[in-house]
Amino acid sequence: MLDVARHFFSVDDVKHYIDLMAAYKMNTLHLHLSDDQGWRIEIKSWPNLTAIGGSTEVGGGEGGFYTQEEYTGIVNYAAERFITIIPEIDMPGHTNAALASYAELNCDGKARDLYTGTDVGFSTLCTGKKITYQFVDDVVRELARLTPGPYIHIGGDESHVTKKEDYIPFIERVQEIVLSHNKTMIGWDEITLAKLDSRSVAQYWASAENAKNAIAQQVKLIMSPAKKAYLDMQYDSITPLGLHWAGYIEVDTGYNWDPAALEEGIGREHILGIEAPLWTETVTNRSELEFMVLPRLPGYAEIGWSPAAARNWDEYKNRLAQHGKRYDALGINYYPSKLVPWISE
């Protein structure tokens, strides 16, 4: 996953990210296209989402968005490299950019100010209003039309100011909308509080209990445990970029885990795959992106493709070391972890 909402990344930067993924045989890119700080995909029926909601980013920079034509260019570029794009519009929380763009989406009918900080959990769509579901239906319809892949991600995380009794029916209604446009819904693990269709997919990031709610509903999991797989976590306490609310993720920590053995009760049969998300509150440009992603990315690819019994850090670190020279030759930035025996000329 790449978060293009907190900081906007150009079409060329996203294509570069796709190139890095393709080099390691990753097959799915989840784009986090909206959040409190920005709305990044043109929706023709709701143009202020990008005109207003796309106009800034964390730190107050100019933001940006993809036109539908540009977005299709990304989808096609990815497809040529055997990568499926999963678009995410996060809701009902993480919606300040939309709430700033359209007053009528707020319960009090007043547009919110644009937001360029990094707090989470303060915004919510007005789940009791009819227009909210018209909005969701329009957005999902346009996105579904742009999406050859089977999935639409609806977020659902950290809706701290949505009452639980409002959140649950909202997710169930959004699930109906996604299904009505012939797509499969994915949501962060909180969505398992709702009654899910067994075709829907839950993304484990924080709560094993939520993941077990998914299993109880025959809902499959994507495994993205923040403590192991979040690419925005610092490598160590002096890493100049990144956050550490889920811990530090050195290159060995990112590699040394088995999705099917992480939590009691979550086994291979419950898991569709793994995902390593790059959130971009602190990541502002291509070079910083490369520094957070490399050299952890190949480790996630190997976890995804190789059985746990075939993986061993002491052997892997020597193979990984060979990649430093490649990155140098390609002019790609990376974190020169002391745990990797890099080969110097």
Distance between CA atoms of residues 47 and 138, nearest Å: 12
CB of 127 to ligand ACM, least distance (A): 19
CB of 81 to ligand ACM, least distance (A): 26
Distance between CA atoms of residues 222 and 245, nearest Å: 21
CB of 12 to ligand ACM, least distance (A): 26
- List helix spans (H) across 24-163: 48-51, 68-80, 96-101, 130-146
What are the tokens at 135?
Answer: 């909005």
Nearer Cβ to ligand ACM (204/255): 204
Strand order in 28-32's β-sheet? 2-3, 28-32, 84-91, 151-155, 184-188, 201-204, 220-223, 271-274
The binding track of 100-139 with respect to ligand ACM, each residue x by CB under 6 A or -, is: ----------------------------------------
Catalytic residue ranges: 158
Of the candidate residues 3, 158, 232, 263, the single one contacting ligand ACM (CB under 6 A): 158
Left, alpha or beta for 239 (phi > 0: left; psi -120 to 50: alpha)? Answer: beta
Nearer Cβ to ligand ACM (31/340): 31
Nearer Cβ to ligand ACM (135/205): 205
| Cβ-contact 220, 270 below 8 angstroms | yes
Nearer Cβ to ligand ACM (229/340): 229
CB of 181 to ligand ACM, least distance (A): 23
Nearer Cβ to ligand ACM (157/263): 157
Q: For the segment 5-24, give every residue that binds ligand ACM (CB under 6 A).
A: none
| Cβ-contact 86, 79 below 8 angstroms | no
188 binds ligand ACM (CB under 6 A): yes
Cis status, amide bond into 295, omega within 30 of 0: yes
Residue 332 dihedral angles phi and psi, to the nearest 5°: -100, 135
CB of 210 to ligand ACM, least distance (A): 11
Distance between CA atoms of residues 128 and 182, nearest Å: 25
Query: Which residue of the chain is nearest ligand ACM when measured via CB?
Result: 157
Residue 41 dihedral angles phi and psi, to the nearest 5°: -125, 130
Q: For the segment 220-249, give every residue that binds ligand ACM (CB under 6 A).
A: none
CB of 188 to ligand ACM, least distance (A): 5
Nearer Cβ to ligand ACM (46/188): 188
205 binds ligand ACM (CB under 6 A): yes
Query: What residues have CB less than 8 Å from 337, skipping those under 6 apart?
Result: 235, 250, 251, 295
CB of 154 to ligand ACM, least distance (A): 12
Distance between CA atoms of residues 85 and 333, nearest Å: 25
Residues contacting ligand ACM: total by CB under 6 A: 4
Nearer Cβ to ligand ACM (137/158): 158
Please name which of 19, 79, 30, 25 lies closest in space to residue 304, comparing C-alpha atoms: 25
**Residues engaged in binding ligand ACM (CB under 6 A):** 157-158, 188, 205
